[in-house]
Structure 1
Amino acid sequence: MISPAFASILASGRAQFNVRAVEARRRFPSLDMAAFGAFLHDSVDPLVVAVAAAAPERVGGVTLAAYDMALALVGHGLAGPAAKNPFLNTVWRELAPQFAPLLATAPVELLGMLSNAAIHLCTVAGARPAQWQQELAAVAPQVGSVVQLRAVGQVLAWRAGVAHFRLGALAAADTLPQALALAAFGEPGAQWPQVRAQLLDYPWRGNADGREFGAFTGLGGNFATPPQVRATKDGFIVRSGERHYLLVADAYGAVLHGATAQEFEQANAEMPSAVRLEGTTVHIGARSIALDLPAGDITIAANAHTLAITSPWTHAIRLLPLA
């Protein structure tokens, strides 16, 4: 059963809603009305209830906007019980109601923004959508506008593993009130200029152990053959078989993009003087790290902040902070 608030709006505008549904079926011939009804019940109703409590005078307009957007999302197969990834359903059901005051004033912008973010996060291998949702819900009471929501959403997407968002996220954080920016990074009480400078200068801030990235494609991984890497200023160009990639990694995650053979050939093969490999031990300044790889054929590459380690015996790339 849907809530009384939602049921009342649907009943009072039945003719209008029916016209919209008929038009949507023309635009989306495969639109499953049973799936649409389920999405209304499970994911639209909670946000209608939240707006009815926060701004009852606006609940009608919000419902109409949500209804139209729901038709399109279900029509495209992005929402509803049969959606390839159910995260968008969850965002509407659990996250959008946390922003009821903003939803009341800008339903199309807010639902569009959250929907696009949910869809994008689920396309980034290694991203952590559940973390993004949880952290965004935690700062919801401090978000005072759709503009702020867009900025903090970008910051939290970076923190949830979308590593190539790093510079854009820092720029977005600069537009936020300092208290909100610090809350997004889980550092209330700190000073934003200092935190920002550290994040900008050192991509591995808060992660001294680094990370391992990649696996064999036959096991759902990224690489058909053991990868080779060369360094660039902001990441690594990776070659695996005939394919080439740009790997961007930092404290929060690692993301793979397409690259070219020419970019691989032009990438840096030189090593910083502070890094050296002896047998199965890599030395980074005064640190020594024993590698769990067979001796011989271990290859290392480094840029200003990250060391990448590969071997013909593994499909994974070991990424270590240099500082």
Structure 2
Amino acid sequence: MTDIAVTELVHREWVLRARPSGRPLPTDVELIETTLGEPALGQVRVRNLVMSVEPYMRGRMGGGASYAEPYELDAPMLAPTVGVVSRSDRSELPIGSLVLHDYGWRTESLVDADDCRRLRHDDLPAALHLSALGIPGMTAWVGIDRIAQVRNGDVVFVSSAAGAVGSIAVQLAKQRGAVVIASAGSPEKVELAKELGADTAFDYHEGPAKDLLRTAMDEIGATALDVYFDNVGGQQLEAAIRVLADHARIALCGMISVYNSAEPVPGPSNLLKLIWRRARMEGFLLADHLHAREEFEDEMAALLRDGRIRPVHTEFPGGIAGAWNAFVGMLDGAATGKALVPLAPSI
């Protein structure tokens, strides 16, 4: 076994100390220093290069019912992370290989080989494997292709269109020949959505969602929506339901408008429209589509290399010490596209 680092490492990691109620607080977590030893049998040691912070992590911190297991108290949290193998005796994971794993929120990780995936398109930058070529990109791809089944000529509305998933969903919908309406949370993000290909876009802060969406539709001559790719829920979901075309499709990807709510939030009041329009509203999880990962990766890698998809991400400063502020900033809308935390210089 050959090592590119010292045998025993002092590293830092974020530990969950309390379950947040409402907006997460700095007292809910603690950055600690600890020692990382030799990999056990079947493990590799990874020097982490970049980690992501994502909205679903808020649910895991809370400990309530969710599609993902809650984080344990007084234990390091988890996050999708790309790193380079620094110690290994596994032929399929040699030293120096670029890998994806979930043991982020720390500078170094001991990872079971079965929980560590060697990246196939390792000529592309590490950050892309967490954005356009990672979970956000594949989530957008599944929602656009498999759930909403976007076709040429469809009118597609994408909420949170400057976010990690939404920014890719806009571009994939345009690749499929759709007319795209986008919403975002600031004038700058609205302009970005248009740069990514949206035919029109609006800032959802500027008025009632139903009025803003109707105005956007009038601008492009659309009378109804064929598809709504929902990252937000709340008023924007209700607004989209009001103007659905017959046999429209709604892909429920996320509901960031309710993630920090301490009390239950009422749902749309107009679900009867789904019956009238014979529309389909379907939630989806990426875990149900992992069998298609290589198909997605090959298509997305080609689109990235050709410049037909523009990756959008925000890198928060401070390394591991800045990870908590990055997470809270992402929840507050400070990130454009994917929120990333560089942990070490890339290879």
| Fold similarity call, TM over 0.5 | no
TM-score by length of 2: 0.26
Is the strand fraction higher in 1 or 2?
2
Is the helix fraction higher in 1 or 2?
1
Higher relative contact order (CA 8 A, sep 6+): 2
TM-score by length of 1: 0.27
